[in-house]
Structures are given as C-alpha cells and as structure tokens.
Amino acid sequence: MIKKLTINIVAGLLLLVPSLLFSQTGFTEYGLKGIPQSSNLNPAFKPNASLVFGLPVISSVNAGIYNTAFSFNDIFVQHPGDDSLYFNLTRPINSKSSSNYLSESFSVDLLSVGFRAGNGFMTVGIRNRVNARFYYTPDLLRFLWNGNGGYIGEQLFLSGTALYEEHFNDYYAGISFPVGYNVDVGIRAHFLQGLSNISTGRSNLTLLTEPDNVTGYRLTAQTDFSVETSGINDLLSDSTDFSPVDYFMNFGNIGYSFDVGIDARMGEQFVLQASVTDFGQLFWYGNPKNYSSSEAEVTFNGIDYDFSAENESNAFETYMDSLGNLLEVKEDARVYQSFLRTSMFLNGQYITLDEKHVFNLLFAGRFLEQSFEFALSAGYTFMPSDKFAFKLSYNYLKYAPLNLGLGFYFNFKPFQLYFTTDNVAGLFYIYGQHYADFHFGLNILIPYQYKNDIPWEHAP
C-alpha cells in the first residue's frame, strides 16, 4: 500500500537526514602524513613509525555535512522584535539550481593497525561507514511549503527527487612500498559487508492541478519511479523483528572496492601526490525490497466523505486509502547492486629549505549520481618540532566557497592526538553553514621516531 510506503520513506528521511554526516571531507588532512589516518585518502602515505595502533572507536571519528541550497538559518528565521524562530522555505524555493542535494556521511574505526614490512608499510583494519545523499528540486520544496493550491494550471516538476543511503562495514588491507628513489606507491583492497541500502532507480515525477466542474480540482501525476532497498525493512516498519545483532552480523550483502595512490618527491623541495579512492560496488542479496510505479499517469478527483458526527472514520486516512488504491505500487525482491562514490585527489607541495614550512595546492573531485562534485584547497603547514604540526587551509566548494580549515597533531609518547576540519566556522556556527566537518582521534605510535611531515629518502 502507498500509505505504508510513504510512512516508511518519511521515517527513513527522519532517521537519516538529522543523524548522518558528510561531503568531501579531508582537504585539510590530505598530505598531512604525520597523521596515520591520512592514508585513508592516499594509500601511498606512510607514517614515520614502526607500529601504529588505533584505539577502537576513538582512533578515528569522521563526520561532515554539505547542503547546496540552504543552511539552518535560511529556513529558520527570527521573528522581528523577539528571539523566537519560525520555519520558512522561501529562500531555498528561490534557488536557481534545477536540483539540489544534501550529502552526508559518518565513519568510525573499529580496528586499525599499521606496521613496517621491509621498506614498505602495511595497514589493516575495520571501519564502519554510512553515506547518504538526498536530491530535491525547487518545485518539491514549493509543493511542500505552499501546497498545490497556488499552482493551478502549472505543472510542478519533481523529477530528480531521489534518496541514496549505504551503511556497511569496511574490512581493508593495504600496502605502501617504494618503486624508485623517493617514490612510494600504495594500494588498498576492501571487502565490504553491506548492512543497509536505499537506491533510487527512476524518479520521473510531475504534478498538475487543474479546475474540475464537478469536484473542484483534479490532480494529474506522472509517476514513473523505482526504489530499491535492503536491510532496512524491519527497521522502518512496525515490525518488532528488528535485531541489532542480526543487523550488524549480516553477511548476506557483500562488495569490494580499491584505493590506489602515489607519493613522489620531485627534487629537493617539491612533492606530487595523487590518489583514487572508493572504486567499487556492493551487491545486495539479503532480503531486498524493490518498489516501482505500475502506472505512468494517474488522475485523482478527490473523495466523497461524510463529515457528520456519526461518521467516526478519519478524513485523512480515508483520503490516503483512496489515493493508495489509485496509485498502485509494485513490490518484488530482485537482487541489485550499488556503486560507491569514487573520489580523486591531486596535490602538489612546496617545502622550504629549513623543512619547517609546507605550502600545498589540492584538487579533489567526487563522482555523484547526477554530477561530478569538485573542490579546491590551498594550505600552509608549520612544523616547529617533530612532536607537533599545525596546518591552515582555504577550501572552495561550489555552494560553499568560503571555508577556513584547521588541522594539527601532537605527539606525546607513545600517543598521538590529532584533529582536522575543513571549515572552522562549522564547529562554532553550524546553523549558518552549508558545509561542516571534523575528524579527530587518538593513536598509539611505536617507536616514537618522527622527523617531519614530508616524504624523506627511504631507509635501506
């Protein structure tokens, strides 16, 4: 029934949108090799330590959010003369973009270990990851905010409205090794354990409201859509069968991905670094549920309803049942696959002769479902000693062009504390930002033998 599907989709949005966090994080962290977790962005990076042990959960917590159309302050506006807020979608409705999106993610390390193997460095670990992307059109916001009464005779285009979510455990093993004088190459392979997924296949939706001499108005909707899900049906339904243990121990959905990278010293003062991450896919075999429209076009003329006191039925429920009977949704259980959002990085560094200052310029990009999202970053790193490094960066995204980033690590035997963010303002004033992120953790490094955060000659 359409009513149950609608409730499930709304519940999914309420669960996913407030609680998950991402966009293109890692601009400030890229190239800051004193932080072992920077190898997540380039598997060629290796720290100056024989053994790195990440403490479960607290060794790496990474989160961020990017909304292209509006910030919290754009939709919650202060009443004149007092401190109260009211909800207003006027600003995002006037967005010039035909489609906007909210991109989020969250990841945490459950286990991470790195160790030297000859001239190379190996890493193994388990990471829990969640990514979510919600695409929406200005017409969707107009419909939600104004209803359809103000658009008589005007067709609202909702096509492109889509939701994607993937939650999975990432089991990985990688190695960085020299291939020449001051050139390191890295590769990392991932086995993916899929936990839950929502993938929108087709989303061709329009809504037209026209006058009708009998019922007043009639709605004509184009409803060509398909949605695929796995692992979330018990969670979003009224069923009491959901078990957290079964959810996290489910190996019915599997996948793979690869990361590759290079870290090359070009002469005395220049470094070139490049990488591609998350090239792979997931196969959703475990209890998949697929929903699709059975009609390309439907017309709804309203309902007959008795509002007398004797009628105890609910008007809204009757309305939704009538609409559900008209708009039939086909359900099946086909196995399907989803692709990770592949990212790419290209970074250049200039190192001063005293080896205390590093300047870098980074280009980053990510392949989304409907576009290629790119970003630019320029950074400066100051390393006054082998125990401490501090970095400032400027990070440009298309819909959030002004972001000041900050990063540091501090080594105190045998621990390391680190923190990075691509937008400092997002930490203190998140309600006014389109983009916010952070990454922090606590590592154990053995032995404690650091020089600086630059690629030195390889030991024999």
DSSP codes of every residue in 9-47: HHHHHHHHHHH--BSS--TTTTT-TTSGGGGGT-TT---
Q: Does pLDDT of 229 surpass 80?
A: yes
Report if residue 368 sits inside a domain. Answer: yes
- Give the pLDDT band (50/70/90) at residue 448: very low
Q: Which two tokens stand for residue 396?
A: 């440009």
Q: Which of 21-30, 207-216, 419-428, 450-459 has the highest mean pLDDT?
A: 419-428
Q: Which two tokens stand for residue 416?
A: 């390391």
pTM of the model: 0.83
The sign of the dihedral angle between the CA atoms of 178, 180, 184, 185 is: negative
Report if residue 342 sits inside a domain. Answer: yes
Q: Is 300 in contact with 326 (CB distance < 8 Å)?
A: yes
Total domains present in the chain: 1
Helix (H, G, I), strand (E, B) or coil at 317: helix
Report if residue 331 sits inside a domain. Answer: yes
Report if residue 456 sits inside a domain. Answer: no
Q: Which two tokens stand for residue 112?
A: 């991470």
- Give the pLDDT band (50/70/90) at residue 423: very high
The DSSP code for 230 is E
The DSSP code for 159 is T
- Give the pLDDT band (50/70/90) at residue 330: confident
CA trace torsion 277, 459, 448, 50 (10° rounding) = 60
Buried b (16+ CB within 10 A) or exposed e, 84-117: eeeeebeebbebeeebbbbbbbbbbbbebebebe
Report if residue 65 sits inside a domain. Answer: yes
Q: Is 313 in contact with 385 (CB distance < 8 Å)?
A: no
Q: Which two tokens stand for residue 283?
A: 């196969």
Q: Which domain holds residue 60?
A: 2-446
Q: Which amino acid is at 46?
A: K
